[in-house]
Amino acid sequence: MLLVILLVLISVIQGDCEQDFKLQQVLILSRHNVRTPLSKNLANFTPKSWPSWKEKKSGYLTAKGALLEGFMGEYFKQWLQNEGLLDDACPNENSFFVYANTAQRTMASAYAFVDKAFPNCDIKIHNSSVTTDPIFNPVIHNRSAIFRQEAIEEMQTLLKSLHLNNSYRDLEDILDYKQSEYCLLEGKCDFITDKNKIFVNVGLKPNLEGPLKISKSVIDSFIMENYEGFPLKEVAWGQLINTKQWDLVLELSKGYHSTIFNTTLIARDLARPLLKYMRDILVNKHHRTTLLMGHDANIYTVLKALDIMPYSLKNQYEMTPAGGKLVFQRWVDNISGQGYVKIDYVYQATEQMRQGKSLSLKNPPEFTPLKLGGCKYVNGLCPWDEFVQLLDNLMEA
């Protein structure tokens, strides 16, 4: 009898503590999926032959990238239906709104997502009428000389804080860099001693010239080769065979992206047009679900501008993997009516991508919860009003 009473009491206590939340709105900020390498100068940095891609244009979504993004579309449809935001019918724009950057890889990724999520539905992919969409374009807006000087100083400080010598040496060995055309003709043969030069100019993306930029370019190709499913002996010529080796060279790519995107002044300036657009959707437009298809630069700068706490992605080498998505969720307490925001990084694990594994509720992508540094969390959630105020403050900064 005593055991029965205890079980009843435990049940009542648990019932009182569990709050009934309903998902009301979702905004998905996505990076495009797998594409061909961006750099057209890879042959300059090694005497070795690079793998041949079926798609010859640089920076284009591949068939594998479209396949993987389609898997994401199928998964998110199931997830949104399971949470009650979608039903079996073709969604209208109040239910599912899509806006993509104008680049081929972002438009093609958006089409791959919706074609698999909503086959035989006429889903419009909205995009800018101008070639370079200012919402997604990660360029400097602030014209102040003081801003420029402070931004350069922040980038220099971050660059000096990086400890990359072991990574540089490893990459030089992988490339046989000292026998490269660039080394032999330009006389720049040592990643550790060659200088990085910072560029911060209005209307242009912040940038670096030097060994860190070269490293980023070649590592980008390694990463995409691996996602694309090239034979392992062709991915970095078979010299990246375990997680420790990948992590070492990926420090260079992370260092590059941190330097150009992850300083506070730069991130807030670059992300402001996109954050303004996101705020308008979340506060004024009230689409139940929105998909925004952009680039890693958009992910990096939004994360930094929002002061997202440090995170790591399980089973992934990258910090902003191809096809990865920041999923902003507005949850409402059915009892109090209080709104909250929850942010997850949803992405495919490296092996899911390499092997081309389909996704479903039973075989989901990875979820990593993210936390806003400037929010006072309640039961693991950020109050919606605080989140909106954070966005408003960024608009005024």
DSSP secondary structure of 199-211: E--BTS--EEESH
How far, in Å, are 274, 320, 321, 336 from residue 137 at the CA level?
9, 17, 19, 40
Q: Are residue 214 and residue 258 in the same domain, yes or no?
A: yes
Instruction: Examine the residue annotation and report whether 280 is marked as an active-site residue of this protein.
Output: no
The reported pLDDT for the residue numbered 42 is 97
Is 14 inside any structural domain?
no
Are both 190 and 205 inside the same structural domain?
A: yes
Please identify which of the residues 141, 296, 333, 392 carries the catalytic annotation.
Answer: 296
Are 348 and 67 in contact by the 8 Å Cβ rule? The answer is: no
Amino acid identity, position 184: L
Q: Tell whether 330 and 241 lie within a shared domain.
A: no
Q: 196 and 296 in one domain?
A: no
Residue where one domain finishes, among candidates 234, 264, 294: 264
Tokens read off for 309: 């706490």
CATH number (domain holding residue 118):
3.40.50.1240
Residue 323, both tokens: 């096809």
- Let me know whether 283 and 187 are in one domain: no
Pick from 372, 157, 147: nearest CA to 266: 147
Tokens of 39: 């750099």
Last residue of a domain, one of 241, 264, 287: 264
Nearest to 155 by CA among 286, 13, 31, 258: 258
Q: How far apart are CA 291 and CA 300, in angstroms?
A: 17
Residues near 257 by beta carbon (within 8 Å), at least 6 away in sequence: 216, 296, 300, 319, 320
Same domain, 304 and 215: no
Q: What is the per-residue pLDDT for 285?
A: 87
Pick from 73, 31, 33: nearest CA to 228? 33
Total residue length of the chain: 397
Q: Does residue 161 sit within a domain?
A: yes
pLDDT value at position 19? 58
Residues 322 and 359 in one domain: yes
Q: How far apart are CA 79 and CA 73, in angstroms?
A: 10
Asked whether residue 3 is domain-assigned, the answer is no
pLDDT at residue 4, rounded to an integer: 41
Phi, psi of 245 (to 5 degrees): -70, -45
Tell whether 280 and 378 lie within a shared domain: yes
Whole-angstrom distance, CA of residue 181 vs CA of residue 49: 13
Q: Which of 214, 173, 177, 219 lies closest to 195, judged by CA?
A: 214
Residue 32 is among the residues annotated as catalytic for this protein:
yes
What share of residues in the chain are helix, strand, coil (percent, to 5)?
Answer: 45, 15, 40
> Domain range for residue 260?
145-264
- Specify the residue for token string 């009491």: 9
- Asked whether residue 9 is domain-assigned, the answer is no
Task: Yes or no: say if 378 and 258 are a contact pair by the CB < 8 Å rule.
Answer: no
8 falls within a domain: no
Which of these three, 264, 289, 323, is where a domain ends? 264
Catalytic residue, candidates 16, 32, 126, 163: 32
Q: Helices 211-228 and 63-82 sit at what angle, rounded to 10 degrees?
A: 70
Structural domain count, the chain: 2
Q: Is residue 5 part of a domain?
A: no
Nearest to 329 by CA among 290, 274, 386: 290
> Which mean pLDDT values do the consecutive 10-residue runs of the chain (397 residues) have?
41 45 97 97 97 95 98 98 95 96 98 97 94 96 97 97 98 98 96 97 97 98 98 97 96 97 96 97 93 98 97 96 98 94 98 96 97 93 96 89
Looking at residue 99, what is its pLDDT? 98
Q: Is residue 12 part of a domain?
A: no
Q: Does 259 lie in the same domain as 194? A: yes
Q: Let me know if residue 1 belongs to a domain.
A: no
**Are residues 289 and 328 located together in one domain of the fold?**
yes
Q: Are residues 152 and 217 in the same domain?
A: yes
Q: Are 80 and 107 in contact (CB under 8 A)?
A: no
| Dihedral Cα 71, 289, 91, 348, nearest 10 deg | 0
For residues 222 and 285, state if they share a domain: no
